[in-house]
């Protein structure tokens, strides 16, 4: 009975919030180990402040990475990161969701390092059913190596939104009416890694990693995960029962006018590359780009 009352109370609060606010819920800071475990080279992950923050270390021997303990079908996922400073050309830091199978779905943030004083590029991509090739690249409006900034994904049945701090930098809408697969029936885990990618990352691979500057260190904190946990297909179905969760409410089904204004600001001032406008690569405009002018 008490449980039921609490549940009703939560539903009520959710609806109340949904009506008035279109920004996702404030992330809650939790320690690394609440949601994550190392994936590889665990000795290259340093725990700080009792694990409330971690440093990932890349040296000549190896990079490193971590992943979420659980799989999720929809939710809001956020990480505060401070990227490798100084000469970081060739070094890539990533934060992404992936179903990690052959026909995988994936939602990517990739940070491409650069020579000292030269700007990082933030590349985003969305894979559906194993098919990606939807890169967008932007410069950031701040130096991501000077302090922590939050990088978040809101993912529901309607859209996938990439946020940098509170600014939406990309929205990928569910275009199933166009015959486009949308990630909704394969749960994903969260991953992060730091590695050497000097074969492609900086100025297309021209700038090589300067190993005399190693170790390269990326710092992480606030390991917020608010998702619908799913590993079996039954659980996926439960998560797909639209309407139950805060992110299903009307306010989160699309960006509001102010958020579109901010997205346009990013597009106009910071775009480096957008697959939607790459005529050489896509003589026919990708359907999702054609339908949603500013996807």
Ligand X SMILES: *[C@@H]1O[C@H](CO)[C@@H](O)[C@H](O)[C@H]1NC(C)=O
Which has the closest alpha carbon to 96: 179, 13, 189, 169? 189
- CA–CA separation, 89 and 202 (whole Å): 6
Catalytic residue among 110, 207, 235, 288: 110
Which has the closest alpha carbon to 275: 76, 148, 127, 68? 127
**Which residue has the closest beta carbon to ligand X?**
118
How many chain residues are in contact with ligand X, going by CB under 6 A?
7
**Near ligand X in 192-221, by CB under 6 A:** 202-203
Indicate the DSSP class of residue 166.
Answer: T
119 versus 129: smaller Cβ distance to ligand X: 119
Catalytic residue among 106, 135, 235, 288: 106
Least CB distance to ligand X at residue 204 (A): 7
Give the chain's count of helices (H) and strands (E): 5, 15
> Is there a catalytic annotation at residue 103?
no
Phi, psi of 97 (to 5 degrees): -110, 140
7 versus 142: smaller Cβ distance to ligand X: 142
- CA–CA separation, 190 and 53 (whole Å): 17
86 versus 119: smaller Cβ distance to ligand X: 119
Least CB distance to ligand X at residue 120 (A): 7
Least CB distance to ligand X at residue 89 (A): 7
SS3 of residue 181 by DSSP: coil
Least CB distance to ligand X at residue 196 (A): 14
**Near ligand X in 104-133, by CB under 6 A:** 112, 114, 118-119, 121
> Is there a catalytic annotation at residue 106?
yes
Q: For 133-156, give one letter per residue: b (16+ CB within 10 A) or e.
A: ebbbbbebeeebbeeebbbbbbbb
Residues that bind ligand X (CB under 6 A): 112, 114, 118-119, 121, 202-203
* Residue numbers annotated as active site: 106, 110
């Amino acid at each position: 009975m008490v449980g039921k009352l609490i549940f009703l109370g939560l539903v009520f609060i959710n609806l109340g919030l949904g009506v008035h606010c279109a920004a996702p819920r404030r992330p809650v800071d939790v320690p690394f180990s609440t949601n994550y475990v190392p994936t590889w080279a665990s000795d290259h992950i340093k725990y700080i402040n009792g694990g409330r923050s971690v440093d990932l270390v890349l040296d000549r021997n190896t990079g490193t990475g971590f992943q979420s303990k659980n799989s999720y079908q929809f939710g809001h996922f956020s990480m505060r990161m401070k990227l490798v400073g100084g000469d970081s050309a060739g070094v890539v830091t990533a934060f992404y969701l992936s179903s990690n199978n052959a026909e995988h779905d994936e939602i990517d943030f990739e940070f491409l390092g650069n020579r000292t004083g030269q700007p990082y590029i933030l590349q985003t991509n969305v894979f559906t059913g194993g098919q990606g090739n939807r890169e967008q690249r932007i410069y950031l409006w701040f130096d991501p190596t000077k302090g922590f900034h939050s990088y978040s994904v809101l993912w529901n049945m309607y859209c996938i939104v990439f946020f940098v701090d509170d600014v939406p930098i990309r929205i990928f809408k569910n275009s199933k009416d166009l015959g486009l697969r949308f990630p909704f029936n394969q749960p994903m885990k969260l991953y992060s890694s730091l590695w050497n990618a000097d074969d492609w990352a900086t100025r297309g691979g021209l700038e090589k990693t300067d190993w005399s500057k190693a170790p390269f260190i990326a710092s992480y904190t606030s390991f917020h995960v608010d998702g619908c946990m799913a590993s079996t297909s039954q659980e996926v179905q439960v998560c797909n029962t639209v309407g139950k969760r805060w992110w299903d409410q009307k306010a989160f089904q699309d960006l509001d006018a102010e958020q579109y204004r901010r997205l346009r600001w990013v597009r106009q001032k910071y775009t480096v590359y957008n697959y939607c406008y790459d005529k050489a690569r896509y003589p026919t405009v990708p359907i999702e780009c054609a339908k949603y002018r500013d996807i």
